[in-house]
């Protein structure tokens, strides 16, 4: 591209960006043209979620996709101009008459051609915070000449301050000489309606030692705003490169989710110990030896069916569980010091921990073993989540196995709601991202909850918490919930072909009569992939 063409395109982009319509008009233009967000995203070279953010005002178009998007908006505006307002309706909906507002002062020409300082990877570089040379709002990003400048010149919209009284508008006089002590001057009366000074940034809220009295809804809304702000910040810093923004968000997922966790605990009833004294069985022997706690991960394939059977005429549907570990945050967690007991003394509805048991035999080859693919006989250490599943399956409702023999336990008083506020927050953020088609936020939320679980044990990546007991319990809860889905499907008349990992269930039969289809945390969807055992496939009876 020649210099002339490059300059022309930059000038065109600047002109179009100066007249970019507001988010609601962008949405109206797309819908008036009958275009989907996916079509617009493909045309301008971004993700569908980015278009959704542009149309809701969550983010602002930035290069390199901005010029294409602006051209599209201009063309659509010519084809579908905004409808003229009804003159009669304007009498009722129009703003009250008053003196015309003065136009906003123009940005000096010396500031209009500044560019954002970027590193070799194309990401905006941060420096010491200062007032942006264009809008005056504080920013940590820098221009190429070292002055503060919002990344991509994406300045916040200026807020018109309220009209002040003439007395308030006058400049304050210089400080007078101190008056004699015998006759102190009377304080000047304050103006009747003196406006408060408008600050471009929120004033800091003083910290208070007592617990905050926020409602749960307001607290969740504040934390949702933190999640949105993190996504917007990385998207802006990456200059519109969604891959770079996602990489940055995944890189900060652990400290971010720990901050959210601490915020959800600010008004909680229970305290917890981040570095408790734990029994030896909860410490990993070495990097090469496995954990001593058996988490009962499923790895089941029904021996009665095979894709290589002589007559594969049975249709199997591979189902995918949504956000399995996120649902597993609802689990009984020990909150006190783990105490050693023998026999059934440590087994109680409101206690949790780990137990040494000898399981009863499993005699149902057509159903997954609740202990997973363990082949070694004898006693083993399991979590409370697995023990609760075994006790349910041995009860009168299911009657699938005998009750396990409990030899000893390490348990304490427990609660099922310890992580529930964090779980509800991430579920809400996930649902919002799905509704908006926002892949960036969706992947960010997934990274937060998965890394929260995987690093809360003994991990060098998370020094804020060392709770291997919680990690084992959450893993086991995810696997126990997964087995429960298989037993539920079997009870409803479906044949179980396979149960794998934390999120894969293969069944024969009308699964929609048992599970709700969708992307919610309580719903199931058809598993997609390149493997033969994905989507729908055929199997046959072995020896049939």
Query: Residue 55 pLDDT > 90, yes or no?
Result: no
Identify whether the C-beta of residue 229 lies closer than 8 Å to the C-beta of residue 156: no
Beta-carbon count within 10 A of 214 CB: 13
Which of 5-19, 51-65, 84-98, 325-339: highest mean pLDDT? 325-339
Beta-carbon count within 10 A of 192 CB: 8
pLDDT by residue (tens digit) across 290-309?
A: 789 999 999 999 999 998 88
User: Within 13 Å and on the Cβ side, how many CA atoms surround 24?
Assistant: 1
First to last CA, the chain: 68
Predicted pLDDT of residue 478: 97
pLDDT by residue (tens digit) across 236-274?
A: 999 889 999 999 999 999 999 999 999 988 766 666 777
CA-CA-CA-CA dihedral for 153, 156, 160, 162, to nearest 10 = -140
Lowest mean pLDDT among 8-22, 112-126, 430-444: 112-126
Predicted pLDDT of residue 192: 44
Pairing of strands 293-294, 380-383: parallel
pLDDT by residue (tens digit) across 493-544?
A: 999 999 998 999 999 999 999 999 999 999 999 998 777 778 899 999 987 6
Tell me the average pLDDT across 86-100. 43
Predicted pLDDT of residue 129: 67
Distances (CA, A) of 348 to 80, 271, 355, 469, 470: 67, 21, 12, 17, 18
Give the Cα separation of 38 and 359 in Å (integer): 52
DSSP per residue over 376-395, as a string? --S-EEEEHHHHHHHHHHTS
Local structure of 260: helix, strand or coil: helix
Residue 469 preceded by cis peptide, ω within 30: no
Closest CA to 43 of 69, 64, 19: 69
**Residue 98: enclosing H or E segment and its boundaries?**
none
Residue whose pair of structure tokens reads 């991960």 in the numeric block: 297
Is pTM beyond 0.75? Reply is no
Identify whether the C-beta of residue 382 lies closer than 8 Å to the C-beta of residue 294: yes
Written as six digits, the tokens of 108 are 């000096």
Tell me the average pLDDT across 81-88. 59
Domain ranges (residues) in the chain: 3-83, 123-155, 280-541
11: Cβ contacts below 8 Å, ≥ 6 apart: none
Give the Cα separation of 181 and 198 in Å (integer): 36
State the pLDDT confidence band at 130, using cuts at 50, 70 and 90: confident
| CATH number, domain 3-83 | 1.10.260
Residue whose pair of structure tokens reads 């969604």 in the numeric block: 242
Beta-carbon count within 10 A of 161 CB: 10
């Amino acid at each position: 591209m020649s210099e002339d063409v490059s300059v022309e395109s930059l000038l065109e982009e600047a002109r179009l960006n100066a007249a970019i319509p507001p988010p609601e008009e962008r949405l109206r233009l797309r819908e008036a043209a009958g275009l989907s967000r996916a079509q617009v995203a493909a045309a301008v070279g971004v993700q569908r979620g980015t278009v959704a953010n542009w149309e809701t005002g969550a983010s602002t178009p930035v290069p390199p996709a901005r010029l294409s998007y602006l051209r599209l908006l201009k063309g659509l505006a010519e084809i579908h101009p905004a409808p003229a307002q009804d003159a009669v309706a304007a009498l009722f909906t129009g703003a009250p008459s008053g003196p015309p507002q003065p136009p906003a002062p123009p940005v000096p020409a010396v500031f209009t051609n500044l560019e954002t300082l970027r590193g070799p990877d194309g990401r905006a570089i941060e420096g010491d915070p200062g007032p942006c040379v264009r809008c005056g709002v504080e920013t940590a990003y820098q221009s190429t000449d070292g002055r503060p400048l919002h990344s991509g010149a994406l300045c916040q919209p200026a807020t018109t301050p309220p009209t002040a009284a003439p007395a308030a508008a006058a400049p304050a006089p210089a400080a007078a000489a101190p008056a004699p002590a015998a006759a102190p001057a009377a304080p000047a009366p304050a103006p009747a309606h003196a406006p408060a000074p408008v600050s471009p940034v929120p004033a800091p809220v003083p910290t208070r030692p007592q617990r905050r009295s926020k409602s749960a809804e307001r607290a969740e809304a504040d934390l949702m705003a933190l999640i949105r702000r993190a996504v917007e910040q990385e998207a802006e810093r990456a200059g519109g490169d969604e891959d770079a923004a996602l990489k940055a968000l995944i890189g900060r997922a652990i400290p971010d989710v720990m901050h959210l966790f601490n915020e959800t605990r600010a008004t909680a009833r229970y305290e917890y110990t981040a570095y408790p004294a734990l029994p030896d069985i909860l410490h990993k022997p070495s990097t090469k030896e496995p954990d001593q706690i058996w988490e009962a991960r499923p790895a089941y394939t029904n021996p009665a069916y095979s894709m290589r059977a002589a007559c594969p005429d049975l249709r199997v549907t591979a189902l995918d569980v949504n956000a399995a570990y996120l649902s597993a945050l609802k689990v009984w967690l020990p909150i006190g010091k783990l105490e050693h007991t023998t026999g059934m003394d440590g087994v109680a509805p409101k206690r949790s921990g780990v137990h040494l048991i000898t399981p009863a035999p499993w005699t149902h080859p057509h159903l997954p073993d609740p202990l997973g693919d363990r082949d070694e006989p004898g006693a083993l250490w399991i979590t409370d989540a697995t023990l609760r599943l075994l006790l349910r399956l041995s009860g009168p409702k299911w009657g699938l196995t005998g009750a396990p023999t409990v030899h000893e336990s390490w348990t304490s008083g427990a609660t099922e709601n310890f992580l529930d506020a964090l779980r509800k927050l991430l579920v809400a953020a996930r649902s919002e991202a799905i509704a908006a088609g926002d892949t960036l936020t969706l992947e960010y939320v997934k990274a937060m909850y998965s890394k929260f679980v995987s690093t809360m044990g003994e991990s060098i990546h998370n020094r804020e918490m060392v709770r291997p007991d919680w990690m084992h319990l959450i893993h086991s809860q995810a696997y126990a919930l997964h087995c429960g889905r298989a037993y539920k499907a079997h009870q409803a008349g479906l044949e179980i072909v396979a149960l794998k990992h934390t999120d894969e269930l293969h069944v024969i039969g009308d699964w929609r009569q048992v599970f709700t289809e969708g992307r919610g945390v309580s719903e199931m969807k058809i598993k997609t992939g390149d493997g033969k055992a994905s989507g729908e496939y055929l199997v046959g009876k072995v020896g049939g």
